[in-house]
Homo-oligomer: A and B are copies of this chain.
Amino acid sequence: MKLEEAIQSNKFRNDVHKASLNILYTAWWLKTVLSRELKEYGLTHEQYNVMRILKGKHPEQMCVRDIASRMIEKNSNVPRIIDRLVTKKLVKSATSEVDRRETVISLTPSGLSLLDNSTSSINQAMDAQVSIGQQEAQVLNQLLEKVRAKE
């Protein structure tokens, strides 16, 4: 669906304004596509994101702050997301022995297994639904980096 139909408006100040709304709408669309798959596994998008980050260091542990700094949405409240993963026994939490301020987190075997299965679903969904080619994706990446160039 075109943006104009999706938000029932074609009143944009200019193409940059339209592109900004398009980015926001596409992100919402993408989250919806991915969340639909994750729901089968009882995971939210954010819980999945935390687990993916943990897998990057697996089988090593990571402290909460390291996880937070890798999140896509930087204001995520990582301690609370971890709480829910601990309840489901998908990750394990312990006080660091090196620095007792730190809480170190690691994937449990069942967390790792759930992550692998859900990642397959996510990847399939992405390949099936995100309908651009690799070369177009490269151009898109360059443009998005440029959008944020002034940060």
A97 at the interface (CB under 8 A from B): no
The one of B11, B15, B131, B141 that contacts A22, using a Cβ cutoff of 8 Å: B141
| Closest Cβ–Cβ distance, residue A133 to chain B (whole Å) | 8
* Stretch touching chain B among A69-77, A78-86, A110-118: A69-77
- Chain A: interface residue total (CB-CB under 8 A): 61
Set of chain B residues within 8 Å of A141, measured between Cβ atoms: 3, 15, 18-19, 22
A99 at the interface (CB under 8 A from B): no
**Additional pairs, 9, CB under 8 Å, beyond known A3-B141, A23-B23:** A2-B145, A7-B70, A16-B130, A16-B137, A23-B30, A24-B27, A28-B73, A32-B74, A131-B150
Residues of A within 8 A of B (CB): 1-3, 7-9, 11, 13-32, 53, 56, 69-74, 123, 126-141, 143-151
